[in-house]
Amino acid sequence: MAKILDGKATAKHVRIRLKREIKDLILLAEHPPQLVFIQVGENPASTTYVNLKHKMAERIGCISTVNRLPATIPQDELLEAIERYNRDRHVHGMLVQLPLPDHIDEHVIAQAIAPAKDVDCFHPVNVGRMMLGLPGPKPATPLGIITLLEEHGIEIKGLSVTVLGRSNLVGKPLGLMLLKRHGTVTYCHTRTRDLASECRRADLLVAAAGKAGIVTGEMVKPGAVVVDVGTNFIPALDEQGQPLLDEDGQPKFRQVGDVVFDEVEPLAGWISPVPGGVGPMTIASVLANTVTLYKAIEGLD
């Protein structure tokens, strides 16, 4: 039976540490860190994530602002809003929640945010700094995964690591960050020939494919550490296999990972659950990046 990589509890420890750090830093900086969230449109999942990040930021002692803009806002006007926050010396961090409406180019937006205020680590300068091992913000989900492993005493050095997924947000940067910590990293993706055997070689298997249940029991080496990054929503069923409905008669959904938990948990040495694993760590990492940038801007690092 696997031990649980408890992201909820670990994220709470991280937030407690950050709150203490901010309390001390405020004495020197004479003002708290300020974080701005920009949401364009009303995607319900984005609203949930932004509200959660906003609440956590306030809880650790940041000033947090949510700027909700209409889905129809022209790209130029969004760029002007970003530029205002870039120039505001009391703003230390900013993020624009994705996805954005089709008429707005995510890459243009990522490059408009000043690298010094980029809490998502989406700006190419910060991606490059991460790749070179230089100080700065780190991609939030990969940083959260590494913190989750470290806080549970798992040493990455020397491990055979398989990263399933090569997205710019998770798989690609995570592989580089694990390499920096001396893991032997293999990337797998949709064109990988023998996914099961690549996964089975891994001492540390990270599933970030975005596909519910892609990692089954036969793909996991006994005793391996399994990190599940998946946040997939599938219809919730009752005991007879019928769809569960909410009070408006709409189908209910439940959150599942990329890993078939019931098959893998009896085999693995460690496993992160969904929900309660990587998700809370990602939010904690955005807050950790905010403190990193606050210290740099205020000359306190």
Residue type, 16: I
Q: Which of 4, 26, 69, 98 binds ligand GUN (CB under 6 A)?
A: 98
Taking the complex as a whole, how short is the minimal distance between the CB of residue 140 and ligand GUN, in angstroms? 5
Q: Is 120 in the site for ligand GUN (CB under 6 A)?
A: yes
Q: Is 140 in the site for ligand GUN (CB under 6 A)?
A: yes
Taking the complex as a whole, how short is the minimal distance between the CB of residue 37 and ligand GUN, in angstroms? 8
| DSSP label at residue 250 | P
One of 6, 34, 39, 53 is an active-site residue; which one? Answer: 53
Taking the complex as a whole, how short is the minimal distance between the CB of residue 48 and ligand GUN, in angstroms? 11
DSSP 211-229: -TT-B-GGGS-TT-EEEE-
Q: How far apart are CA 76 and CA 108, in angstroms?
A: 10
- Reference 123, options 131, 115, 132; nearest CA is 115
Cross-strand partners of 65: 36
Q: How far apart are CA 123 and CA 221, in angstroms?
A: 36
Taking the complex as a whole, how short is the minimal distance between the CB of residue 86 and ligand GUN, in angstroms? 16
Q: How far apart are CA 301 and CA 291, in angstroms?
A: 10
- Which stretch in 11-19, 89-97, 182-190, 246-254 sits in contact with ligand GUN by CB under 6 A? 89-97
Report the residue number, 34 or 97, with the smaller CB distance to ligand GUN: 97
Q: Which residue is listed with tokens 């006007």? A: 77
Active-site residue 12, yes or no? no
Report the residue number, 48 or 72, with the smaller CB distance to ligand GUN: 48
Q: Is 39 in the site for ligand GUN (CB under 6 A)?
A: no
Report the residue number, 4 or 125, with the smaller CB distance to ligand GUN: 125
Q: Which of 97, 126, 272, 289 binds ligand GUN (CB under 6 A)?
A: 97
Q: How far apart are CA 19 and CA 93, in angstroms?
A: 16
Active-site residue 238, yes or no? no
- Phi (first) and psi of residue 225, to 5 degrees: -90, 125
- Which stretch in 72-80, 92-100, 150-158, 160-168 sits in contact with ligand GUN by CB under 6 A? 92-100
Active-site residue 53, yes or no? yes
Give Cβ neighbours of residue 231 (< 8 Å, ≥ 6 apart). Answer: 255, 257, 274, 275, 279
- Which stretch in 13-21, 24-32, 62-70, 91-99 sits in contact with ligand GUN by CB under 6 A? 91-99
Q: Which of 14, 22, 35, 95 binds ligand GUN (CB under 6 A)?
A: 95
Q: How far apart are CA 133 and CA 128, in angstroms?
A: 9
Q: Is 290 in the site for ligand GUN (CB under 6 A)?
A: no
Q: How far apart are CA 160 and CA 155, in angstroms?
A: 12
One of 6, 120, 203, 258 is an active-site residue; which one? Answer: 120
- Phi (first) and psi of residue 259, to 5 degrees: -105, 135
Q: Is 126 in the site for ligand GUN (CB under 6 A)?
A: no
Q: How deeply is 18 buried, as exposed, middle or buried, from its count of CB atoms within 10 A (0-12, 13-18, 19+)? A: buried
Report the residue number, 126 or 270, with the smaller CB distance to ligand GUN: 126
How many residues contact ligand GUN, by CB under 6 A?
A: 6
Give just the sign of the alpha carbon dihedral 95, 134, 210, 283.
Answer: negative
Q: Which residues form the interface with ligand GUN (CB under 6 A)? A: 95-98, 120, 140
Give the residue numbers marked as catalytic.
53, 97, 120
